[in-house]
Chain A
Amino acid sequence: MTYTFDLARRVPQKSLPLYQQLTAAGICFAFALGATSCGSGKNSIPGVPTFSVGVVQNNLIASFVASDLNTTVGGSIPIPDLTGATVSMSPYLPTDGGPIKGTLFSFDIDLTALSSSSSADAGLPDGRPLPDVTGGQLPRWSFQIGGATGETIYLYLADEAFAIFVPLPLESNGVTLGSTISATFTDEHGNVVGKIYAIPSVSNGNSSGLLVLLPFPGQSGSSSNPGTLN
């Protein structure tokens, strides 16, 4: 199952088959960040109104829309060392009948390939610990988009969790994110299945970004307290 959600309103979209190892976690979800975090539905990540995570035919697809970034072209490239995985940027096509506006960033990852590779433990790119992760670190992969001068994307995978960190300036209309905003995802039964974090920059403006953490309950947790979420 997957949901597409707007940070201003919760919009469950459609049902999809879950990857078998992640079924218990129900990691395909969506949420309105503000609505879940404060119940008012007024909070949001500046400039990032839509976020989606889902699993289609064993591929994890995580995407978000930068509403203030408009592009007429885009493309997709393979992620090095991850067979079948791609990262893409393209003009955003709304599925809610809204106007064509914004840019969609998407990660397509073959979960079977990801689970068979390994990497060293690490936290956030600037050294800060991963929030809500015991020890603050998970095995991390990084790859660059756009060559040596492009953006670096970070993937995390352990037996108990999967995460993506995308460096992103979190500001819109002059409003800059001042502190970390987080919200839990729940499945249709209300079980907590993951979290998204809008992480502000420390001082130089280079470390802000979005972190999506998807714990797997199979190893040490339960559906009510999944994976490594504290």
Chain B
Amino acid sequence: MTKLKSLVLGVMIVSMATACGKGAAGKNPVIPGVQGPDVTYVDGNFMMSVVLSQVNLTGGGTIPIPNMPNSSFEISPDLQSAGTLVAVSLSATDIAALTGANLLNPTELPGNRPLPGVASGALPAIAVQVPQWDNMVFYVGPNIFGVFVPVTTGLPAGYGLDADLYNTAGTQVGLIGGYGPDTTGKNAGIVVLIPITGAVANIVNNARKN
């Protein structure tokens, strides 16, 4: 897993900047070494998958998320690319239950940095401790949810880049950001945030009714 932490997404900043220049509406920024994230909704679950093509693992596993019994994330070898697949499955039912409870402490990005795109800079969150890996953090606000995946981005300390996030159908569903380390040299990673609005709101509201 240390390879995962040392993954060099150093060209991410260049790639995202290139994507900016193209202004390609409906398409996510191209990140060398990273396929995705792909965001879909399948059978009551929001699925986000990322393939890290430069990371090779011999093992993997599925890890539950506290307070979200029907949600999980999975790390496993990617059979198509020989890289590593990071897949997050968030149940709409779990999101609907948590977003109404407001029982979680407001949390920023790891390293006490504000969440991009969120006016208050913080959202209620669940941190999942992964052995030999930094915390993966799940954010579940009243009208927004997301995930922070700790990987080395290659961005300088204090710097970040954000871009619109589109689902596989090309519809804007949120924001993806890549962040360099904080002032302590830690906590670089990728954050994905999805507001519960539009079609996403319909899915979560239906889960609440059920």
Contact = CB atoms under 8 A, between A and B. Distances in A.
Contacts of A4: 119-120
Interface in B160-202: 160-164, 172, 174-175, 177, 179, 182-183, 193, 195-198, 201
A222 interface: no
Contacts of A99: 197-198
Interface residues on B, range: 35 or more
Contact of B175 (A13, A59, A61, A93): A93
Interface in A1-39: 2, 4, 13-14, 16
B66 interface: no
B99 to A, nearest CB: 11
Interface centre among A13, A59, A91, A99 (most CB of B within 10 A): A91
A46 interface: no
B161 A74 contact: yes
Contacts of B23: 72
Interface stretch (A48-56, A165-173, A203-211): A48-56
A72 B162 CA distance: 8
Contact of B117 (A52, A58, A78, A90): A90
B183 A95 contact: no
B143 A61 contact: no
Given A4-B120, A74-B116, A95 B172 contact: no
Given A16-B122, A97-B143, A76 B158 contact: yes
Given A76-B158, A96-B143, 6 more contacts: A4-B120, A59-B113, A75-B160, A76-B113, A95-B142, A104-B119
Interface of A: 2, 4, 13-14, 16, 50, 52, 54, 56-59, 61, 63-65, 72-78, 83-84, 86, 88, 90-100, 104, 106, 108, 110
A110 B119 CA distance: 17
B119 A74 contact: no
Interface in B63-82: none
B102 A14 contact: yes
Per DSSP, are chain A's interface residues mostly helix, strand or loop, or mixed?
A: strand
Contact of A52 (B25, B112, B119): B119
Contacts of A91: 117, 162-164, 175
Contacts of B8: none
A83 B116 contact: no
B25 A72 contact: yes
B94 interface: no
B175 A57 contact: no
Nearest to B157: A78
A89 to B, nearest CB: 8
B144 interface: yes
A75 B162 contact: yes
A4 B175 CA distance: 20
Given A95-B143, A96-B143, A97-B197, A78 B118 contact: no
A56 to B, nearest CB: 5
A52 B119 CA distance: 6
Contacts of A50: 119
B120 A14 contact: yes
Interface string B89-129: 00000000000001000101000111011111111000000
Contact of A73 (B108, B123, B162, B196): B162
Contacts of A104: 116-119
